[in-house]
Chain A
Amino acid sequence: MRTQIRTCSTWMKLASVGISKPTAPEMAFSQGWLEKFKDRHGIKSFCRFGESGALDMEVVGAALPDIRAVVDAYTKKDVFNMDETGLCWHLQADNSMATHQLEGRNINKERITLVICANSDSSQKISLTIIGKHLNPRCFKGINRDTLGARYHANAKAWMTQNVFRLWLLDFDRRMQGRQVLLLLDNCLGHIPLEEFAEMNVVFRNTRIFYLPPT
């Protein structure tokens, strides 16, 4: 019942931005539709906990031999690690600004997501990807985005979504043309299980993706 009400209000909101309700009535209010909608938009529920703090070092030690067996098979220049991080871009080192407001926004908390990637002999830094909240920021007007030195994506929460992740990987794989590289990834976040790439007909010719074991 609750789901029905929620999905119903979703339709009312969607209708107000010009999206019409599906014609098949049995689809209209189902939870299944919402799940598929989320899939299509590459949005999933996920969570991530803070930094290394409460880690079981024994678990880490047990997993390392498997990781090394994979990494050792590649030369140093062919082992990459990619990860994303939040960046509160206005953040200032002043406690008295903790609630500092600029034009009604708490700017200390304005956050974007950055994607960072490099290889283990540090001969290659992959150019940054920045995920913001606005598809067409006013400040980009008249700017050729190819000259920015970083790729830009946007969604409402400035999150790494599965869609951005997939685009990043495809671009990375293209850059690795003619090589066979290993890409180490955190197993969390908007990252896509390997078997799902096959379902999406996404093939990486030059990249082996290796998800680091979960915490």
Chain B
Amino acid sequence: MSSVVQPCDAGIIRTFKAYYRKRFNNLLLDGYENNIDIPEKINILDVFRLAVPAWVEDVSPATIANCFRHCKIRTSNIIHTQQGEVGPPIALIQELQHQVAHLPYGNPMDIRNILNYSEENNYMVASNDEDITNCIIEELYLQQDEDAANDNDDSVEPPKISTR
């Protein structure tokens, strides 16, 4: 249900991801061109530098408005006639295919598999108590490790564990 009446699900997220991939591919292509060792080795800061402009600059207002209209969640949009899927513009898909063709891949994937990658869609799995407990513990461990690794960084509050 939600994915049909939700504009984000209807295409905004897929369009954003397509632009993210385009920027990521450009980074790879530049990396190979400049003989950078393992250009795909990016960190979370690089992700910000790819994802923020992909959202702020690349995803067009027309795409967003179109996705909202497509869901027909407003009475005045009921007669909206566009059929089929809304999502990344065709020119963008073609550009992604073009990029992939220029990357040194042994067995290139259809770009649509990347844009509908199941690991990303099924991102919430039912957890049992044990999973949840381990998640909390892992979080505490992570925090400790990072606190130790960032001696001068006092920006993180210690975990607040109440035993009440």
Chain A residues near B (Cβ < 8 Å): 3, 6-7, 10, 13-14, 17, 19-22, 27, 34, 36-38, 40-41, 43, 45-52, 55, 59-60, 63-64, 67-68, 71-72, 76, 79, 81-83, 85-97, 102, 107-109, 111-114, 116-118, 120-123, 125, 127-128, 130, 132-141, 143, 148-150, 152, 154-157, 159, 184, 186-189, 212-215
What are the interface flags for B85-127 relative to A under an 8 Å C-beta threshold, 1 for contact and 0 otherwise? 0000000000010001001011111010110111111111111
Q: Out of B4, B8, B20, B76, name the residue touching A60 (CB < 8 Å).
A: B4
| B36 touches A (CB below 8 Å) | no
**How many chain-B residues does the 8 Å CB contact rule pick out?**
93
B25 to chain A, nearest CB (A): 8
* Cα-based distance from A60 to B73 in the complex (angstroms): 11
Across the A-B interface, the 9 shortest Cβ-Cβ residue pairs:
A86-B123, A83-B8, A96-B106, A122-B61, A122-B64, A94-B105, A156-B138, A86-B120, A149-B52
In the bound complex, do residue B107 and residue A187 qualify as a contact, i.e. CB atoms below 8 Å apart? no
Which residue of chain B has its CB nearest to the CB of A118?
B64
Q: Out of A17, A27, A36, A55, name the residue touching B1 (CB < 8 Å).
A: A55
Which residue of chain A has its CB nearest to the CB of B145?
A134
* Cα-based distance from A143 to B45 in the complex (angstroms): 9
With a cutoff of 8 Å between Cβ atoms, the chain B residues found around residue A37 in the complex are 136
In the bound complex, do residue A120 and residue B65 qualify as a contact, i.e. CB atoms below 8 Å apart? yes
Q: List 17 A-B contacts (CB under 8 A).
A: A21-B163, A34-B133, A38-B136, A45-B127, A55-B4, A91-B21, A92-B103, A93-B109, A93-B113, A102-B41, A112-B47, A133-B142, A135-B142, A154-B142, A184-B73, A189-B124, A214-B1
Q: Which of B125-148 contact A (CB under 8 A)?
A: 125-130, 132-133, 135-144, 146-147
With a cutoff of 8 Å between Cβ atoms, the chain A residues found around residue B41 in the complex are 102
* Cα-based distance from A3 to B129 in the complex (angstroms): 9
A176 to chain B, nearest CB (A): 18
